[in-house]
Amino acid sequence: MRSEIKHDLRLEERHWSTMKAIFGKHFFRKEKEADLHQGSDMVLASVNGRVNVGCRLRTYKYYIHPQWTWQVTVRYSRPGGTSTEIHKMKSGLYDYIFYGFVSEDESKIIKWVILDCAVILEIDPPQLGPYSNNPPDSKLIAYELKDIRGAILNFWPKDLWIQWFTE
């Protein structure tokens, strides 16, 4: 396995519990009526009962870069035609994307957003790129978050994002 793939997997594994907690808060909810009348203590907020999520965590060097901190990048192509995030979105394999940045020491997720893939495809926002990834194992496209605002389901930290939304 290539080192860049190992690094991506390591970041996801390191922050798996945090990502599960974030998604649990977003997709599971307590509904009093369902509890009282249907015997359900918790409801999964999904149409088909299954939620498929693509996760992408970026390192701190991307967080502090003024251009990239308000963009979402997705893999657009790989040598040999391996399926990428954009293919998975377009084919319906991803319902949502969790996109975040980790701290400099990679100990915590410091900024994140949950995006609805169907809405991104519906609004068909402008794409930047494709750009060569670093290392050059794939090509990326970028979306400006202001162009996909309607696809944003949740975000953190609230004060940072609210400031950005009102500018």
Do residues 148 and 122 make contact, with C-beta atoms less than 8 angstroms apart? Answer: no
Residue 39 predicted with pLDDT over 70: no
DSSP string, 136-161: SSSEEEEEEGGGGGGGEEEEESHHHH
Structure tokens at 114: 């949950």
67/50: higher pLDDT: 67
Do residues 88 and 54 make contact, with C-beta atoms less than 8 angstroms apart? Answer: yes
pLDDT at 10: 85
Residue 11 predicted with pLDDT over 90: no
pLDDT at 134: 79
Residue 40 predicted with pLDDT over 60: no
Mean pLDDT value of segment 3-29 = 79
Structure tokens at 134: 């670093």
pLDDT at 43: 54
pTM: 0.80
